[in-house]
Amino acid sequence: MLKDKIFRLVYVNFGTSKLDEMTEYYNKTMGYSLAEIEDSTKKYLSNGFDHHNIILTHSNKSEVLGYGYQLSHKHSLDQYSEYLTSKGFSNTIKRNLMPGISELIELVDPSGNVIHLFQTIEKSNSKYATDGIAPYKLGHVAFMSNAPKETIAFYQDVLEFSYTDTIADGFANFLTCNYEHHVINVVSAEETKLHHIAFQLKDASHQYNSSDILARANIPVLWGPSRHTAGHNIASYHKDPDGNIVELYTDMDVFLPELQIFEPRPWHEEIPLKPRNWESLSAWGTEFAFDLAKDETLINS
């Protein structure tokens, strides 16, 4: 049986009717450099390592148009494409679809998300930003799913992601393709759409400074900073110009798949800490006016 290893989330492609505002936000507030412009309708932004980590595509509505994951070179894309077909997932190898990536596999997961799988992405010509928030990297995405069971099975059984935690008996389901607690979070819902996108910061001082930068840009922090239960990351949340929720976090749990435990930390409730179900979002018991689980812009009423 042919399987390969997805080892990181690299980019998210946003459809937006506010192309200029979103570009200003990611460039000036987040500190991502503008790597390339395509036909004035698509902009590629980078954190300074990959050619791009954020794609902004002009659209009539706000939506996620796709997610990009990097594969190891253990097998060729043709072999991996054949493997996906054998598992019942239609896919297409596309070449020169976007700058920075010469070839990729495009497929759709059971929730309807468009996924790109590729092995090589060009490096950025820019350096890491010194202005703006300047996150270390794109860390994870959480998306609402109208087919959570099928989607979780797809990521676990077909793409070899590991289960790490749940919240509220399956309301939120965390999976990873590397050492981080989660790279995706599948949230049960009636409609598939983005719940939030998350970026890793260096440490607590970086987090404090990010809140000051947001305040200067008149962007309110909606939730946090507080330490989560699942993942134990210290997180804060705000909204971008399109209303997408953006998480900034540090201190994410490190997963050891060979042992099925998390590296011990002083704040863990038990040691060794194993994947489990959690009842609440905040390990500190802090409550905020903005409810991440019930925000009316995310959850269908």
CATH number, domain of 30, equals 3.10.180.10
Mean pLDDT of successive 10-residue stretches along the chain, which has 301 residues: 79 97 97 92 94 97 96 94 96 97 98 98 82 95 97 97 95 96 96 97 96 97 96 97 97 96 96 95 91 70 32
Of the three residues 56, 86, 118, the one that is the final residue of a domain is 118
State residue 294's pLDDT score: 79
Pairing of strands 6-16, 91-98: unpaired
Residue 175 and residue 66 share a domain: no
* Residue at 290 is within a domain: no
Residue 256 and residue 148 share a domain: yes
Contact 181, 252 (CB under 8 A): yes
Residue 211 and residue 164 share a domain: yes
* Residue at 128 is within a domain: no
**Which residues have CB under 8 Å from 91's CB, separation 6+?**
81, 84, 85, 105, 106, 107
State residue 5's pLDDT score: 87
* Residue at 175 is within a domain: yes
Residue 150 and residue 79 share a domain: no
Range of the domain at 227: 137-278
Residue 114 and residue 145 share a domain: no
Which residues in the chain belong to E strands, given as ranges?
6-16, 33-38, 42-46, 54-58, 63-71, 91-98, 101-108, 114-118, 137-145, 162-167, 172-176, 184-188, 193-200, 223-227, 234-239, 245-250, 255-256, 261-262, 277-278
Number of structural domains (the chain) is: 2
Residue 193 and residue 155 share a domain: yes
**Which residues have CB under 8 Å from 284's CB, separation 6+?**
226, 227
Structure tokens at 7: 């080892």
Residue 260 and residue 224 share a domain: yes
Residue 199 and residue 151 share a domain: yes
- Cα separation, 249 vs 226, whole angstroms: 10
State residue 293's pLDDT score: 85
* Residue at 12 is within a domain: yes
Residue 266 and residue 211 share a domain: yes
- Cα separation, 35 vs 100, whole angstroms: 10
User: Taking the model in full, what pTM does it have?
Assistant: 0.95
Alpha helices in the chain (DSSP H): 19-24, 77-86, 148-153, 204-216
Residue 149 and residue 107 share a domain: no
Residue 142 and residue 101 share a domain: no
State residue 296's pLDDT score: 61
Contact 255, 164 (CB under 8 A): yes
Residue 143 and residue 255 share a domain: yes
From the list 49, 21, 57, the residue with the least C-alpha distance to 33 is 49
* Residue at 232 is within a domain: yes
* Residue at 299 is within a domain: no
* Residue at 129 is within a domain: no
